[in-house]
Amino acid sequence: MIKLDSKAPQGPLAEKWSKHKAEIKVVSPANKRKLDIIVIGTGLGGASAAASLGELGYNVKVFCISDSPRRAHSIAAQGGINAAKNYQNDNDSIFRLFYDTIKGGDYRAREANVYRLAEVSNLIIDQCVAQGVPFAREYGGLLANRSFGGAQVSRTFYARGQTGQQLLLGAYAALNRQIAQGSVKSYPRHEMLELVMVEGKARGIITRNLVTGEIERFGAHAVVLATGGYGNVFFLSTNAMNSNGSAAWQCYKKGAAFANPCFTQIHPTCIPVHGTQQSKLTLMSESLRNDGRIWVPKKKEDVEKIRAKKLKASQIPEEDRDYYLERRYPAFGNLVPRDVASRAAKERCDAGFGVNDTGLAVFLDFSTAIARLGEQTIRERYGNLFQMYEKITDVNPYKEPMTIFPAVHYTMGGIWVDYNLMTTIPGLYAIGEANFSDHGANRLGASALMQGLADGYFVLPYTIGDYLSHEIQSPKVKTDTPEFEAAEKSVKEKIAKLFSIKGKDTVDDLHKKLGHIMWENVGMARTKESLEKAIVEIQALRKEFWVNVNVPGTDKEFNQELEKAIRLADFLELGELMARDGLNRHESCGGHFRVEMQTPEGEAKRDDEDFAYVAAWAYTGTDKEPELVKEPLTFEAVHLAQRNYKD
Amino acid sequence: MNLKLKIWRQKNAQAQGKFVDYTVDNISPDTSFLEMLDILNNNLIKKGEDPIVFDHDCREGICGMCSLHINGHAHGPDTDITTCQLHMRKFKDGDTITIEPWRSRAFPVIKDLAVDRSAYDKILQAGGFVSVSTGGVPDANAIPIPKPDADESMDAAACIGCGACVATCKNGSAMLFVAARVSSLAKLPQGRVEAARRAKAMVAKMDELGFGACTNTGACEAECPKGISIAHIARLNREFLSAKLKD
């Protein structure tokens, strides 16, 4: 039975982190040199952590599945990064950022963690500027800001529509500096396939060299998981094609509790699905909602004409347009949080007002902003996004509104961690999207970049020292031990089994089936029936996978089908846990919308009496029901209330 | 659309490669180029043949993972995009499309259409950073930066490290890649401090790794999916010269 101890410090909210830092132990420079740390993943969390730990003097090994650390999917984040600088004098503060984040997450995150995130947010911006990140600036030379959903202040820093890219290049540069100095060793095109535990502690990993197929062993005094989210369980998502949940899932099966797996973010502004051959979905940044207005026609006959291509959106007069977000949520308008905007789009489309041939699209219109500011200003702000949109859809968004629809984008759930970011396995840490900690049931825009860098630059480098201070007597971890032997054997057996099946279905065929089950039953609207159905169907599909998958080629070569098969095998288990978690959580909160639980206006209806807790799931064995362990959420600084974006 | 494909197949770095002909049918013009290859691979696996290896990841033109020389052009016939953003509507029904990996001495083929670009990481490790550690830095607004400088820095920083410039250059030079990084940092006060040293170290590493010299043909700029200007090469040369003069 797993026991959850959040280790959140006592005392006033604003003093918790300072107090905690003063109390935890540090490791001397001479001892840091003797300690090894493995970091898996090189996105914002992994790259910033590996670089910072290297700077501190630890021996770091960093692994990624791409050909270079710079390719990690943080690179694709577009809109920006939040910080409580209050440079705009609009009454922003650490408390306000904290409050917006807790409220945006529908009161399902741990207060102490969220406050710390807001507290270190300002340091991140300073750090990135010092690294040479070319943030957008005003003519006076100072930093510019814009607004994101769920906030009434302008606190988002950005670098055109490529903020994630620029922040990652900053962290990657810091990482490169450490690689050059020898404190970090980089292993690109290596995938972690197993966690190795020795006497109950995380002591290493088994990897597959993706070019040669070689299975390798690596030992360390601590292991840091920075492997991102699991949105690709849906097959179609805005995640990169290679993003996967396997490293996290292997840790779960070794004893790390998995928290709130059903909390999935469906992002409201993505380019709609065009057909069955599609491989992934493309996000259009939330920043577009600063100047874009979302609408559908008021009249059904206009909808019909648009679908039949007899009418253009620009020809519909102002009075016949339903700017439904502005109508329903006057105070926040187009800048309501993502879960609210996505559900509102679904509501209009379900009512028959969807504006493309599939009926699953709404307009995102810039004509008002272009009339007010001129095309040049809009081009400066969003030029690359408009170009991307036009290349994909063949429609010029300066002339006609974009069509958009919600798509899977981010997972708030993840490996359970305490205040130190340590999982329920001693010596195993999880940072960034891979953990569950800061976003509750819905993440606000521009907060993922903030969390990844907060964890990597300013939280983990402090908290990991507390654990490692007890490891200074531990010798180098040897990898020729029975524990490593057994872990390597299980990896090799799994691979051999996959090749032995020689079935008829390709990995992609099966993955598409899983994605369909997930989207239909564990997507934007969930019911008891749909979730129960999903569990049964996923179990059946998992059986089918293990008798009917076709993995071509051999193990000892660059084999992308094998990579995909290993990841899908894990998604087929993870998907079931998501459905199970959603079934247990008989309330609507944030991105988790149970149809049975809604207000008369159709808003998410929480049940704080029964569900103000983190649902952490513990693995109990193959095909056995996992055990639910609850971490109660207590709120000292905020008052729980129905989220209100109307006034 | 029905298409004929001539695709470079190569078992591994040591093996001799060759073109192999394939056909794909019933492709929608709205399909992306890589989705077309996904469809081909799915068909090949079902026929018991080895699927074609190609690098790809974000499929939205930002990670720099996808490559491919398509009909003689890096990232294909369209402008200002990567291969993953190329759509089949840019081709005609019945077309024959030739698909090759990046061809450059510094980027050896790993398998089929995937190449090894680790030389790029090595160049950046030689100096493509500002030497600051985490913590202890000034407030982000302590040093105002003129907007045009920040904008120009961002123009250069848009490089995605895909390697199209090297693959296109007849000399296999990485000058545009190196220049983009040098120029982006040199335009900011934070990066200015080490500008000359950085230029020297990165150029030396580029030479060491077997990239060719720049002869100003401008082909790199024409094929760059992010429209990085060769004006940055002029800035790199200036930084490099000033470093050399101090030697």
- The reply to whether residue A68 touches residue B184, judged by beta carbons under 8 angstroms, is no
Number of H helices, E strands in chain A: 19, 19
B226 CA to chain A: closest CA distance, Å?
10
Supply the pLDDT for residue A616.
Answer: 98
- Chain B, 141 to 170: residues with Cβ < 8 Å from chain A are 141, 143-147, 150-151, 153-154, 157-158, 160-161
B182 CA to chain A: closest CA distance, Å?
11
Residue A62, strand partner residues? A39, A186
Say whether A205 sits in a helix, a strand or coil: strand
Element spanning B18, H or E: strand B18-24
User: B233 to each of A455, B119, B207, B238, how far by Cα in Å?
Assistant: 37, 19, 15, 9
User: A494 to each of A204, A252, A484, A562, A570, how far by Cα in Å?
Assistant: 19, 17, 16, 11, 12
| Angular region, B56: left φ>0, alpha ψ -120 to 50, beta rest | beta
| B2 contacts: CB under 8 Å, gap ≥ 6 | B23, B24, B25, B26, B27, B93, B94
- The reply to whether residue B110 touches residue A274, judged by beta carbons under 8 angstroms, is no
Q: What is the pLDDT of residues A280-332, one digit of tens each?
A: 999 998 889 999 999 999 999 999 999 999 999 999 999 999 999 999 999 99
| B95 contacts: CB under 8 Å, gap ≥ 6 | B1, B3, B4
| B53 contacts: CB under 8 Å, gap ≥ 6 | A558, A560, B110, B111, B112, B113, B114
Helices A482-501 and A560-584, axial angle in degrees (round to 10): 100
Closest CA relative to residue B124, chosen from B66, B175, B178: B178
Closest CA relative to residue B108, chosen from B213, B210, B234, B215: B210
Hey, which residues of A are catalytic here?
338
If you average pLDDT over residues A567-571, what whole number do you get? Answer: 98
Chain B contact for A8 (CB, 8 A cutoff): no
Contact between A49 and A455 under an 8 Å Cβ cutoff? The reply is: yes
Residue A187, strand partner residues? A63
By C-alpha distance, the chain A residue nearest B64 is A71
> How many CB atoms within 10 Å of residue A141?
14
CB pairs under 8 A between A and B: 216
Nearest-by-Cβ selection for B130 from A130, A143, A274: A130
Mind giving me the DSSP string for A74-127?
GGG--S-EE----TT-SS--HHHHHHHHHHHTTT-S-HHHHHHHHHHHHHHHHH
For chain A, the average pLDDT equals 96
Chain B contact for A174 (CB, 8 A cutoff): yes
Supply the pLDDT for residue B237.
Answer: 93
Q: What is the ipTM of this complex?
A: 0.98
Closest CA relative to residue A163, chosen from A370, A384, A374: A384
Q: What is the pLDDT of residues A577-617, one digit of tens each?
A: 999 999 999 999 999 999 999 999 888 999 999 999 999 99
Q: What is the pLDDT of residues B116-155, one digit of tens each?
A: 999 999 999 999 999 999 999 999 999 999 999 999 999 9
| A282 contacts: CB under 8 Å, gap ≥ 6 | A238, A270, A271, A388, A392, B59, B60
Residue A542 has pLDDT above 80, yes or no: yes
| pTM given for the model | 0.97
Per-residue pLDDT band for A361 (boundaries 50, 70, 90) equals: very high
Q: How many whole angstroms separate alpha carbon A617 and alpha carbon A247?
A: 16
Chain A contact for B120 (CB, 8 A cutoff): yes
Supply the pLDDT for residue A351.
Answer: 95
Q: How many whole angstroms separate alpha carbon A572 and alpha carbon A235?
A: 11
**Mutation for A interface: B40, B52, B63, most A CBs within 10 A:** B63
How large a percentage of chain A has pLDDT more than 70? 100
Nearest-by-Cβ selection for A561 from B51, B126, B128: B51
A40 CA to chain B: closest CA distance, Å?
18
